[in-house]
């Protein structure tokens, strides 16, 4: 595509010399747009296909069945409304044109262990809510979360190296990570959007790093470059990676957490599915110096769901 969102082939990441070169490229991307697309990442295509299939099948179930795993608040389990993402930056818009479903890496812990994950309400303190259908949903999501979190952890190691630290510099911030695996389902619609209404409104991600699967041929994701919106390429088999607010803060201002959005689609357009893994550190990891990482992320998430 362009130098703003480079495509980075990770297939040399197991070789020492390969890692040095990759860290260099990642560092450049994170200082420019905060976005890059990875290929050669090693996540099996069959797993991604299975993830796509069960997730799409879930969203096409009747609403009443999906509501059985609607736990709220925030996105844990199913939400008929994925919220109003632009509110995370205090901009008021009509609600996003999407449904969402989410689980958390911590959502399988017992109640007592989850209660210890911060002193404030947070989605990662809720138990995961798994739908009974389609068959294989839970096993597929758990496998995908484990495999893509491993990839994200390696990208964090390369990021540490790119910032001039030892690769394990951030490791202690992720040994109890509260990552969230989300599916955004942008449903087809018969009528046009309201003025200012997006599939996802303009926002920056709140966590450390996001690894995003997007349906190959649908498009719509854009990233801000100065005052101009650029399309992010949907590379078959690739993932879009972007850093969130926390990694930008940890970089001491050298890296950027950049605004992005998902454009609305016209009447008659097909649905679009995207699956971001928000790789989110331990709740008590450093935030912006005033609040912890957990407080930073929980405050932003809460804004998405405040009634306007
Ligand atoms: O659907 C997409 O392509 C991106 C969604 C997104 O930015 C998000 O969920 O944070
Ligand atoms: Fe995002």
Give the confidence band of 70 by pLDDT, cuts at 50, 70, 90: very high
Q: Give the integer Cα–Cα distance in Å for 227 and 283.
A: 34
**What's residue 225's pLDDT?**
97
**For residue 18, how far is its CA from the centre of ligand 1 (angstroms)?**
30
CA atoms within 13 A on the CB side of 306: 15
Neighbour tally for 302: CB within 10 Å: 18
- Please determine, for residue 69, whether its predicted confidence score (pLDDT) is greater than 60: yes
Give the confidence band of 302 by pLDDT, cuts at 50, 70, 90: confident
**What's residue 82's pLDDT?**
82
Q: Is 180 in the pocket of ligand 1 (CB under 6 A)?
A: no
CA atoms within 13 A on the CB side of 139: 4
pLDDT digits (tens, 9 = 90+) for 5-34: 999 999 999 998 999 999 999 999 999 999
Give the confidence band of 179 by pLDDT, cuts at 50, 70, 90: very high
CA distances from 281 to 24, 196, 295 (A): 23, 32, 12
Give the confidence band of 212 by pLDDT, cuts at 50, 70, 90: very high
Q: Whose CA is nearest to atom 9 of ligand 1?
A: 276
CA distances from 252 to 88, 99, 175, 255 (A): 22, 35, 22, 8
Quick one: DSSP state of residue 94? S
Q: Is 211 in the pocket of ligand 1 (CB under 6 A)?
A: no
**For residue 17, how far is its CA from the centre of ligand 1 (angstroms)?**
33
Q: Whose CA is nearest to atom 1 of ligand 1?
A: 274
Is the Cβ–Cβ distance between 191 and 59 less than 8 Å?
no
**For residue 160, how far is its CA from the centre of ligand 2 (angstroms)?**
22
**What's residue 271's pLDDT?**
95
Which atom, in ligand 1's list, is nearest to the CA of 199?
A: 1
Which atom, in ligand 1's list, is nearest to the CA of 276?
A: 9
* β-strand pairing of 239-243 with 209-214: antiparallel
Give the confidence band of 73 by pLDDT, cuts at 50, 70, 90: low
**What's residue 235's pLDDT?**
93
**What's residue 191's pLDDT?**
86
**For residue 203, how far is its CA from the centre of ligand 2 (angstroms)?**
6
**What's residue 200's pLDDT?**
95
Extended beta strands in the chain, E state: 7-9, 35-39, 77-79, 99-104, 180-186, 200-203, 209-214, 221-225, 228-231, 239-243, 260-262, 272-279
User: Residue ranges per domain, the chain?
Assistant: 7-304
Q: Is 243 in the pocket of ligand 1 (CB under 6 A)?
A: no
**For residue 252, how far is its CA from the centre of ligand 2 (angstroms)?**
21
- Please determine, for residue 2, whether its predicted confidence score (pLDDT) is greater than 80: no
pLDDT digits (tens, 9 = 90+) for 214-240: 998 888 999 999 999 999 988 999 999
Q: Is 262 in the pocket of ligand 1 (CB under 6 A)?
A: yes
**For residue 240, how far is its CA from the centre of ligand 2 (angstroms)?**
10
Which atom, in ligand 1's list, is nearest to the CA of 274?
A: 1
Q: Give the integer Cα–Cα distance in Å for 281 and 177.
A: 4
- Please determine, for residue 308, whether its predicted confidence score (pLDDT) is greater than 70: no
Which of helix, strand or coil describes residue 39? strand
Tell whether domain 7-304 is in CATH 2.60.120.260.
Answer: no
Task: Give the residue, out of 98, 203, 210, 212, with the most ligand 1 atoms within 8 A of its beta carbon, to mutate for a pocket test.
Answer: 212
Per-chain mean pLDDT for the chain: 94
């Amino acid at each position: 595509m362009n130098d703003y969102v480079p495509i980075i082939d990770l297939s040399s990441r197991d070789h020492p010399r390969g890692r040095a070169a990759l860290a260099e490229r990642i560092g450049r991307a994170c200082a420019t747009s905060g976005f890059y697309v990875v290929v050669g990442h090693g996540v099996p295509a069959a797993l991604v296909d299975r993830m796509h299939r069960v997730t799409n099948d879930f969203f096409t179930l009747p609403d009443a069945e999906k509501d059985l795993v609607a736990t709220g608040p925030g996105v844990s389990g199913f939400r008929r409304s994925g919220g109003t993402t632009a509110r995370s930056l205090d901009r008021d818009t009509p609600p996003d044109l999407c449904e969402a479903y989410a689980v958390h890496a911590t959502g399988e812990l017992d109640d007592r262990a989850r209660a210890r994950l911060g002193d404030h309400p947070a989605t990662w303190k809720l138990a995961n809510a798994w739908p009974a259908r389609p068959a294989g949903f839970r096993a597929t999501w758990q496998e995908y979360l484990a495999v893509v979190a491993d990839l994200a952890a390696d990208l964090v190691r390369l990021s540490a190296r790119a910032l001039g630290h030892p690769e394990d510099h951030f490791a202690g911030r992720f040994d109890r990570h509260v990552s969230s695996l989300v599916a955004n389902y942008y449903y087809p619609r018969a009528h046009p959007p309201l003025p200012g209404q997006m599939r996802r409104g303009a926002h920056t991600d709140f966590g450390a790093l996001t690894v995003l699967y997007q349906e190959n041929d649908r498009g719509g994701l854009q990233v801000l470059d100065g005052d101009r919106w650029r399309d992010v390429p949907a590379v078959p088999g690739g993932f879009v990676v972007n850093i969130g607010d926390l990694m930008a803060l940890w970089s001491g201002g050298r890296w950027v957490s950049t605004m992005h959005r998902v454009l609305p689609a016209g009447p008659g357009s097909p649905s679009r599915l995207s699956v971001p893994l928000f790789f989110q550190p331990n709740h008590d990891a450093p935030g912006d110096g005033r609040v912890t990482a957990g407080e930073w992320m929980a405050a932003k998430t809460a804004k998405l769901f405040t009634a306007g």
